[in-house]
Amino acid sequence: MFESPGAPPLGRLRILDFSRVLAGPFATMMLGDLGADVIKVERPGGGDETRGWGPPRDAHGEATYFQSVNRNKRSLVLDLTSPEGAGRALALAEEADVVVENFRPGVMDGLGLAYEALRERNAGLVYCSITGFGAGAGARLPGYDLLVQAVGGLMSITGSPDGEPQKVGVALVDVLAGLFATVGILAALRERDVSGRGQRIEVDLLSSLLAALVNQASGYTIAGVVPGRLGNAHPSISPYELYETADGELVLAVGNDRQFGALCEVIGSPELAADPRFATNGERVANREALRDALVSSLATAPARDWARLLTDARVPAGVVNDLRGAFDLASSLGLEPIVELPRADGTAVALTRNPIRLSRTPPRYRSAPPSLPGWDPPSLPGWDPPSLPGWDPPSLPAWDPPGWDPPSR
């Protein structure tokens, strides 16, 4: 049940975002969706690197990659290596609640924007640094998602046992690091409500990946098991993988004995549930290949979608492998409204994936499309008063203060 919308939960937060590419921008977009005022600082010339990462591009020639993680922000182009640009950034940081950056460790120090320098001017500042391998011995290592998937072990457990290691089909480590950064920022802000003091948050891609390996990681840390690639199979559950049918693949995700018994009934092989080799999950895992052969033999008698429908009706987790069109169509058919359209200043709109968080009283809001370069864009967004910045005097941008804005104690 959803109530009448209230003020956005983060509506009083000012976030200065120096991050680029994916992890940091993903985090600040999540916070922007929840009402935070996000100013994205970009370099002169080309801005965020992902503005040039195409195809695909939209009808305006804008890279869809950049647009995926930069809604509910406005862009400010600053040359941070110049005294004027650094001065403007410093003035913004003095009034910010949160700073997010993902430069190589040491870069912000050289720009005069390190946490130690900023906290002297803004004691309540929450300062989040996202790196590839931390600020210690790994500080000089480049933090790219593919590299971390490789050296962090994810590729070693992804792919066919007889094939080469595989990366995940999206920059998942960056997304995970962005989520961890978001949690850290919110935790630090909540603590600031009590203490009045900010703090530094450090999130690195390698640690984010290791934490997200969950059961595979604990199998190693607790039992010393180094897992290998199992294709689509699960190391601890069976049947829990992809199976061939009369016309394509079907996913089965059977998690308990009741579901297994129902599966056997639906596919017309009730004797499998009584077979001692398959009586328990442990036995099914130990006899995975024999079980697979028996299931494939039965599943070959009908198409994948028919099996998915019949098994779902029997409360057995099963489904076909959708492409992205099929995935969005499924979400739409379930009433999940996966796409939101954000208006652009020229009267067009951009369609983006909706924030998955649903709050009954203060839901995410979609105020603006990803910003274009250069400058403050769009000027109608709430935020700091730009004329207060040194050397900044855009006459077309009016001063604005959020209704009821009361800066938190520092």
Give the active site residues: 174
- ∠ CA 180-185-188, nearest 5°, is 125
- ∠ CA 290-292-294, nearest 5°, is 70
Say if CB 231 and CB 243 are below 8 A apart: no
Cis bond leading into 55, ω under 30°? yes
Phi, psi of 241 (to 5 degrees): -170, -165
| Cβ atoms < 10 Å from Cβ of 281 | 18
Rounded CA-CA distance 404/383 in Å is 13
| Cβ atoms < 10 Å from Cβ of 382 | 15
Say if CB 327 and CB 265 are below 8 A apart: no
Q: Which residues contact 165 (CB under 8 A, 6 or more apart)?
A: 150, 155, 156, 158, 159, 229
The amino acid present at 282, given as its one-letter code, is G
Owner of token pair 């290596």? 81
Helix (H, G, I), strand (E, B) or coil at 191: helix
Say if CB 393 and CB 387 are below 8 A apart: yes
Q: Measuring CA to CA, which residue among 40, 37, 34 is closest to residue 19?
A: 40
Phi, psi of 187 (to 5 degrees): -65, -45
**DSSP alpha helices (H): ranges in 199-303?**
205-212, 214-223, 257-266, 271-274, 281-286, 288-299
In order of 274, 285, 311, 386, the CA distances from 280 in angstroms are 10, 9, 20, 66
